[in-house]
Structure 1
Amino acid sequence: MIRTTPFHARLTELNDQHLYTHWSGHLSALRYSSAPKHEYFAVRNGVGVFDTSPLFKCRITGPDAEAFLAGLMVRDVAACRPGRAAYTLWCDDRGYVRDDGVVFRHGEREFLLTSARPVLGWLTDHRHRMRVDLEDVTDEHGMLAVQGPRSRDVLAALVPEVTDLRYFGVVEAKVGSVPVVVSRTGYTGDLGFELLVPAEDAVPVLDAVLEAGRPHGLRPFGEDALMTLRIEAGLPLGDIEWHDSRTAWTDHDRVTPKELGQGWMLKGVRDGTRRFVGSQAIRRELVDGTSRWATTGIVVDWADWDRLHRDAGELPTKDPEQLGWEQWLRADAEGVGEQVGYVTSFCYSPVLQRHIGLARVRPGLADPGTVLHMETTLHHGTHMVAVTTARLPFFNPARKTATP
C-alpha cells in the first residue's frame, strides 16, 4: 500500500499537477505546478519547502553510542559534537558504499541517523555486545526542508534560534507549542534548514511555515526541481551516482568513497588510526592507488553544443530536467577511441546557463580543465560534444556556510 507523509494533506492542496513518484513507499511530488523551473527559482532566489519525510530515521542511544557509530560510519563520528550534524557514508567489508545519510548528535549518548533506505537491520547486525539501543522512529516524525536565501528570514519569525545557527548545527526549539528539531542542513547546495516535527503536529507546523513565508514568495518544490538543484550542488544520489553494494549485481555498479568523490571523509584511514567497516579495504585502495574512477563535474562547451544542434536544423536544447540515462565520455572528438568515463547526471543549469553534469572518469583525467568528449543523441544518431572537467560544486554561494 502506498502511504502519504504527515505533511501530505496540506501539500496536496497546493499541488495542481498531482504527479507523484514513490519514495520508500510514500507519495512524493514530482512538481507542484506545470513549470518546475518556477519552483527551482523559488529556491535559488527566495525560499521553497520540500517534504523529506520518507527518509528513514533511526535513534541510537546508550553509553557506547559514539563508539558504535564510529565503528560503522566512514565519517569520524567522534568529531561530531552534541548540537552538530554530519553527512556520512557507510560501506561493506570490501569498502564499497552501501548508503549515505546524516548523523544528528543530540547528546553525548544520543544520535539520530537518517537514510534513504532502511538501516535498522544493518545496525542491529553490528551491535554485538555494545551497550546501545536502536529504534526506528521513522513514523513518529515528519521532516520539512526550508531552503533558499530567504529561508533564515522565514524561520526566524517562528524559531528565533535559527538566527545564530551555524552550518550543520542542530537546535531543539518550538514552533508555537510544538517541539521541533531544526538543523542547518539540506540537499540544494544553498542556505537552508530542515525541521524534524512530531507526525501528529506536522500540518500545523507546515501551516505556520507557509504563513511566515508568504511575504517572501515561499512555494513548495518537488523532485524535478530538486534534481537540478542537487546537480548544481555536486551532490550524489543513490541509485544514480552509486548503487547499494548489497544489492548491486556486479562491481561495475559498486563504488568506493574515494571513487564517489567523498575522499575528504577518509581522514585517519591511510595511516590506520581510524577503523570502521570497510576501512581496511579502503586503506589498501589509498595506499596502492587502485581507485578505478574519480568523480568530477563536467561543463559542456556551449559553442560546440549550439553548432551541433544548429547544423542539424534544431534549436539548441536547454532542458533543466535530468536525463534518465548515462552518457559515455571519450578522449577524442571522433568517438572512436577508448571510453574513459561516463556521465551519471546531466542537465541544463538555469543559474549557470550551462549544461553541466556529474561524471566518473579515469583518475588521470579528473584534473579541472581537462577536455573530453561526451556522446549525445540527435536525430536518432550518436554525436560527440566537447566538455571540460570542473571542480564540484558548480554552485556554492557564500551564504550556504557563512557564519550568521
Structure 2
Amino acid sequence: MYKTTPFHGRLNELNTQGLYTHWQAHLSPLRYSHAPKHEYFAVRNSVGVFDTSPLYKYRITGPDAEALLAGVLTRDIRTCRPGQAHYTLWCDDRGFVMEDGVVFRHSDDDFLLTAARPTLGWFADHGRRLRVELEDVSDDYAMLAIQGPRSARVLATLAPEVHDLGFFAHTQVKMADTEVTLSRTGYTGDLGYEITVPTDRALDVLDTVLDAGDGHGLRPFGEEALMMLRIEAGLPLIDVEWQSSRTAFTDEQRVTPKELGLGWMLRGVRDGDRAFVGGSAIRRELTEGSSRWASVGIVVDWHDWDHLHRDSGVFPPKDEHPLPYESMVYDVAGEELGGYATSFMYSPVLQRHIGLARVRPELAPTRDRPGADVRLEISLLHRTTTVAATTTRAAHFDPPRKTARTGDS
C-alpha cells in the first residue's frame, strides 16, 4: 500500500507525466514534465521545489539527548549550536557507514534528525539507559526543498529572515500564518533552503511558495533532475555510492566515512577522546592510513570520447541520464584495476562527462597533484572499451552562492 505526501494533492496537479517511483512507501515523482533537463535547469538558473517529505523524522529530547547523539554520530554534535544543523553519518562498531542524515539542533536538549532509512530502533537501543525520549514524527511534518540561485529572492517575500540565514543554519519563521522551520539546507549543491511545516498546514504553505515564485521561473522537479544535480555537486547517495553496513553481505560492499570522501567529518577524531560507535576503528584507520579507497570525481577527456565514437562510425552521445550501474576504472595503461565509478553522466552545465568514483588512494587528487590520469570503462557498439579520464575533486559544481553570507545571488 503506497502513501502520498502532504504536498501531493497540489504537486500532482502540476505533473503532466504521471510518472512516480516509491520512496519509503510514498509516491515520489520521477519528473513533472517530458524532459527532466528542463527541471534541472530551473534549479541551476532560477528556482525549483522538491518534495522531501518521505524522509524519516525523529525528535530527540531530554537531558541526555546531546550525550546520546555524541555517542552514536560520527560528527561531534557538541559543536553544533542551537539554530544550526549538521550533516552527519552513523556507523557500526567496525567503523563502516550505515546511514546518513541531518540533525537540526533547536535547543540544548531538543533535536530533530532526518534520515533516508528507518533507524529509530537503533538509536533507541543506544539510548536505553539515558534520560532521553525518541519520537517518530515523520507523519507530523512535511518538508519542501526550495533550491536555486533565486531561492532566497523568492523566500524573502515571505520571510525576510532568509537573508540572515547562514549555511546549514535554521530558524523559526511564519509563512501562510503558520510557524515553520526554515533551514539553509538541500541536496543540489546550489543555494537552497528547506521548509519543515506541520502536515495539516502543508498545502497552504506550498501555495504561498508557488505564488511567491511566480515570475521567477519556479517549477517543481523530480528525482531524475535531483540525481543530475547531486552528482554534479559530488553528493553521495545510499544504495548508489555506498550500501548500508546493516544490509551488506561482505566488507567489499561496506565503506568507511573516509573512504566515502567524508573525512572532513572526522576532524579532531584521531586525537580526541570522544567515545562513539565505530570510533576506535575509525581512529585506527586514520592513524595507520589503512583506507582501501578514496572517493573522487572523474572527468572524461572529451577529445578521446569524441574520437572513440566517431572512429566507430557513431555520433558521440551526451546523455544527462546517470548510468544505472558501476563502471570499472583502470590505470592509465588500461590494465590494472584502479577502482570503479559509482555514478556517471553528461553534465549540461559543465558540458563534460563527469562522475563519482572510488579509486585507490594513490589515484586521488592531492594539494600537489590536481588529479591522476585513468581509463574509464564504457560500452561502445556492444563491446567494452575504455576512455581517457582524470580524477578530480568530487564536487564538480560548487558555486560561491551556495555558502555566500547574504544568502542571495
Q: Which category of TM-score, normalised to the shorter sequence, fits these structures?
A: over 0.9
Matched, 1:366 2:368: no
Amino acid at match of 2:96: Y
Q: In the alignment, what sits opposite 2:150?
A: 150
* Matches of 1:285 and 1:261, distance apart in 2: 14
Shift of 1:227: 0.5
* Matches of 2:312 and 2:104, distance apart in 1: 52
Matched, 1:394 2:383: no
Q: In the alignment, what sits opposite 1:348?
A: 346
Count of residue pairs brought into register by the alignment: 402
Shift of 1:383: 0.9
* Matches of 1:375 and 1:43, distance apart in 2: 31
Q: TM-score normalized by structure 2?
A: 0.97
Equivalent residue runs for 1:132-147 within 5 Å: 132-147=132-147
1:184–1:194 Cα contact (<8 Å) kept = yes
Q: In the alignment, what sits opposite 1:194?
A: 194
Residues 287-314 of structure 1: per-residue CA shift (max 9 Å, x gap): 1111110001000000000011111111
Residues 201-260 of structure 1: per-residue CA shift (max 9 Å, x gap): 111111110010011010000011101100110000000000110111111110000000
* Matches of 1:332 and 1:167, distance apart in 2: 39
Instruction: Supply the RMSD in Å over aligned alpha carbons.
Output: 0.8
- Percent sequence identity is 66
Matched, 1:357 2:355: yes
* Matches of 1:130 and 1:205, distance apart in 2: 37
Moved over 6 A (4+): none
Q: In the alignment, what sits opposite 1:96?
A: 96
Residues 366-395 of structure 1: per-residue CA shift (max 9 Å, x gap): 123200001000111001100001113111
Matched, 1:28 2:3: no
* Matches of 2:4 and 2:314, distance apart in 1: 42
Equivalent residue runs for 1:87-236 within 5 Å: 87-236=87-236
Shift of 1:268: 2.2
Helix, strand or coil: the match of 1:215? coil
2:298–2:394 Cα contact (<8 Å) kept = no
Helix, strand or coil: the match of 2:59? strand
Q: In the alignment, what sits opposite 1:325?
A: 325
Q: Which residues of structure 2 form unaligned runs of 5+?
A: none
1:272–1:283 Cα contact (<8 Å) kept = no
Amino acid at match of 1:246: R
Q: Which residues of structure 1 form unaligned runs of 5+?
A: none
* Matches of 1:299 and 1:275, distance apart in 2: 39
2:147–2:190 Cα contact (<8 Å) kept = yes
* Matches of 2:59 and 2:22, distance apart in 1: 24
Q: TM-score normalized by structure 1?
A: 0.98
Equivalent residue runs for 1:236-385 within 5 Å: 236-333=236-333, 335=334, 337-367=335-365, 368-385=370-387
Shift of 1:274: 2.3
* Matches of 1:332 and 1:148, distance apart in 2: 37
